[in-house]
Structure 1
Amino acid sequence: MISHRLSSQTTAPAGDTVKVMVVDDSAIIRGFICRYLSEDSSIEVVTTANNGEVAVRMLKDNPQIEVVLLDIEMPVMDGLTALPKMIELRPDLQVIMASTLTKRNAEVSLRAMQHGAVDYVPKPETARSVNASIDFRREIVEKVKAWANRSRKKKGVPEVKDSSTKPAATNFARPTARPTGFAAPSRPAVKPAVVSSRQTTEVKSTSSASAIQLRKAARTKPQILAIGSSTGGPQALMKFFKGFKKKPSVPIVITQHMPATFTAILATHIGEATGWPSAEAKEGDTLMPGHVYVAPGDWHMQFVRGDGKVKVTLNQGPQENFCRPAVDPMYRSLIEIYGDRILGVILTGMGHDGLKGSRDIVKNGGTVFAQDEASSVVWGMPGAVSTAGLCSKVTPIDELGEQAEKQLDGGY
């Protein structure tokens, strides 16, 4: 059967569920994915397809579809070929690429995100591992709802409410490997930091009843730019760097929650977009001004000083905030070296990774900026630091790079 419609939830009131299409050439994989999504009462799989050509046709027949999970390697028409046809039909469609962890598929997935796809999901390599991977299940549920809600918010349509399903951390490890991955999806309650009134400015949050208290930025000129991001991070990073008029005169270090195969490709794409030297960090790398270092998937990236130089050190210590790599250990090690001369930037992402590290940066006299809620796919990580009163700027992503450049130049 080329495709089928799933009607178990067709009686649900319109708008109460996210409408999804699953596209994969494996009937077994389609079955698993449909089952996982349907277990969440806020998601409805309305149809499936086994190749891109059928998917395009089904999209025409099902205008209610909001999100598509799209495989890359399929017969007749592959995912990359189908993608622009889908976007042409439905510019508002949220397409999430699903691919196994190969270098080619990582490259295709990130290229697809430059041509209309919103995200990717690293898919286990076999049907058996898909069935065994609770983390894959959690990730597709989290991302489907996150992107659907972001699209609905832009249209002024009510967002789907959280169901009784409570997905925990998503990780990128292969079933036989040590786990690593995304932060826990829920944002913990965080008490705002106590800051004197002369140090703060109020910024209204679109979903929070209380105002965000902004700190004055440090007067010390930063010597390093340290960025943390997760869900929606690849696109946010590109927009962030686009705001720079020139190459920064300090090293740029990035922890993006991604699997190992993807982080090297991401670093290459950043280099191509900016023209700056950019690479996945390696053990012993010496930090150089204007160079970008991306933490490799499944490894925490930290730093040590020796012989007057700052070098990268990598480890596979325990996950922090359900992640490896994680932002907090990166920030901790930077504080020991740079003290108050750090500019930390927290971009879109689930959970609260970076909160502890940002608190320590501020405590030691450094500065933290965050992406605002309206431009974030998920306002978990940036929301945690913003509502804790740790930020000097909470800014739309299109403006955040320019603001960071001013801070690096000593403009605040």
Structure 2
Amino acid sequence: MAGPRIRVLICDDSIVIRRLITDVLKADAEIEVVGTAVNGKNALDKLAMLKPDIMTLDVEMPVMDGLEALVELRRRDKKLPVIMFSTLTERGAGATLDALERGASDYVTKPANVGSVSESMEAVRSQLIPKIKSLTGRAPMPPKRARPAFGGEPPRGPAAPGAPGAPSAGGPITTAGRTGKVDVVAIGVSTGGPDALTTVISHLPGSLPVPIVVTQHMPPVFTQLFAQRLDTKSALHVVEARNGEPVTPGKVLIAPGDYHMRFKRSGDTVTAVTDQGPQENYCRPAVDPMFRSAAEVYGGNVLAVIMTGMGQDGHRGAEPILRAGGALLVQDEATSVVWGMPGAAVAAGLPCDIIPLPQLAEAIASRASSGRGTISRSRGA
């Protein structure tokens, strides 16, 4: 076995859930459950003795609930990864979004309407174990490729044909032929996304002359509440996309949970198309189908952005955007909660600029406004 096992502390007031999580994690040779706690205070009291690498935390508990415990934990320890356990309800989603704003790293939804213990265990296993390994740096990462000799944060060169992660078809992708014009900004993001998206979207000007479309890996209910929260913090109008929703400047469309978001053009009008097509990269919504559709509808006038997230969703969908003459920005490793999705794009050799989170809004606004005059509009138009 490579390295020590990942030490996990489980905090939940339900003995059934504590046992379920324990049994799921004990089946993985890389993970060790070092303790359990029945409420937030109990968990905080055990931290110094157990020294976990990561912690799971229920939201609703007696004595001290998950949100109270998280706030106190972050006073003591800014870096310990925390995964919230949430219910697929409006109340559960709202509390989870509160937790993410207060420093939680990610969340897992509790099994709902599952007919057997084995199905419940599989539902938890499929979500929880990959997140534990990603947040503790144990998930396999794509190999890093050397930077070309450009100044600043340079575009990355294409991978050699046939190399691992090389573009799948159509020959090398180069930066040649780009006009620089942007008609839409398409953002893909996962783990760490709510906080990172809030940072970016809240700093974009209301005069941004192009629409923004976003796929954030989130289940139903969560996407609607997240869009509503983000709308209150942004000069742009943020909505959960509906089928037929116009894609217009001044608006940010969030792909709805359990639906892919694609696009359709009729003359000068572009609308969102939502569908429940097959999962891609084990996700729905997924970034790849959104990126592919953006390339089909907008050609090379797409600015793709891949932000923090586990897995590799986005880099294959970015290929047709780049082949058409579009551009790609990726969030840098230092400011990403998990550098899986951005790292996969870099490892694949896709030409891109690597931008720290605090500079992403400025980079997006600059690219989107290049060659255009800013426009005035009333919010919500």
- TM-score, normalised to structure 1, is 0.77
How well do the aligned residues superpose, as a CA RMSD in angstroms? 3.1
Provide closer, same or farther for how the CA distance between residues 326 and 270 of structure 1 changes in structure 2, counting only shifts above 3 A: same
Matched, 1:241 2:201: yes
Which of 123, 145, 168 is residue 110 of structure 2 equivalent to? Answer: 123
Structure 1 residue aligned with 2:96: 109
Deviations 1:332-373 (A, max 9, x none): 222222111110101122222222221100111111111122
Q: SS of the counterpart of 2:233?
A: helix
* Structure 1 residue 130 displacement after superposition: 6.2
Q: Does the CA contact (< 8 Å) of 2:142 and 2:343 recur in 1?
A: no
Structure 2 residue aligned with 1:363: 323
Structure 2 residue aligned with 1:45: 33
Q: SS of the counterpart of 2:136?
A: helix
Q: Does the CA contact (< 8 Å) of 1:257 and 1:325 recur in 2?
A: yes
Give the letter aligned to residue 32 of structure 2: E
Structure 2 residue aligned with 1:409: 369
Q: Does the CA contact (< 8 Å) of 2:176 and 2:325 recur in 1?
A: no
* Structure 1 residue 114 displacement after superposition: 1.0
Aligned 1:191-340 pairs, distance under 5 A: 201=154, 215=175, 218-306=178-266, 308-340=268-300
Provide the rounded CA distance (Å) in 2 between the counterparts of 1:387 and 1:39. 31
Deviations 1:49-107 (A, max 9, x none): 12223222222443x12321111122232212222122223333222110111111111
Matched, 1:97 2:45: no
Give the letter aligned to residue 51 of structure 1: N
Matched, 1:81 2:68: yes
Q: SS of the counterpart of 1:145?
A: helix
Q: Does the CA contact (< 8 Å) of 1:346 and 1:382 recur in 2?
A: yes
Identity of aligned residues (%): 42
Provide the rounded CA distance (Å) in 1 between the counterparts of 2:117 and 2:337. 26
* Structure 1 residue 48 displacement after superposition: 0.5
Matched, 1:25 2:20: no
Q: After superposing the two structures, state which structure 1 stretch, 370-379 or 17-26, moved more.
A: 370-379
Q: Does the CA contact (< 8 Å) of 1:352 and 1:384 recur in 2?
A: yes
Give the letter aligned to residue 74 of structure 1: M
Provide closer, same or farther for how the CA distance between residues 201 and 350 of structure 1 changes in structure 2, counting only shifts above 3 A: same
Give aligned pairs, total.
354
Give the letter aligned to residue 399 of structure 1: Q
In structure 1, the gaps of 5 or more residues are 1-11, 150-160, 163-185, 205-212
Q: Does the CA contact (< 8 Å) of 2:262 and 2:274 recur in 1?
A: yes
Provide closer, same or farther for how the CA distance between residues 278 and 130 of structure 1 changes in structure 2, counting only shifts above 3 A: farther
Provide the rounded CA distance (Å) in 2 between the counterparts of 1:130 and 1:266. 31
Give the letter aligned to residue 90 of structure 1: D
Provide the rounded CA distance (Å) in 2 between the counterparts of 1:53 and 1:304. 52
Structure 2 residue aligned with 1:182: none
Give the letter aligned to residue 34 of structure 1: T
Which of 139, 142, 151 is residue 130 of structure 2 equivalent to? Answer: 142
Q: Does the CA contact (< 8 Å) of 2:279 and 2:286 recur in 1?
A: yes
Provide the rounded CA distance (Å) in 2 between the counterparts of 1:406 and 1:257. 26
Q: Does the CA contact (< 8 Å) of 1:214 and 1:393 recur in 2?
A: no
* Structure 1 residue 382 displacement after superposition: 1.3
Give the letter aligned to residue 219 of structure 2: P
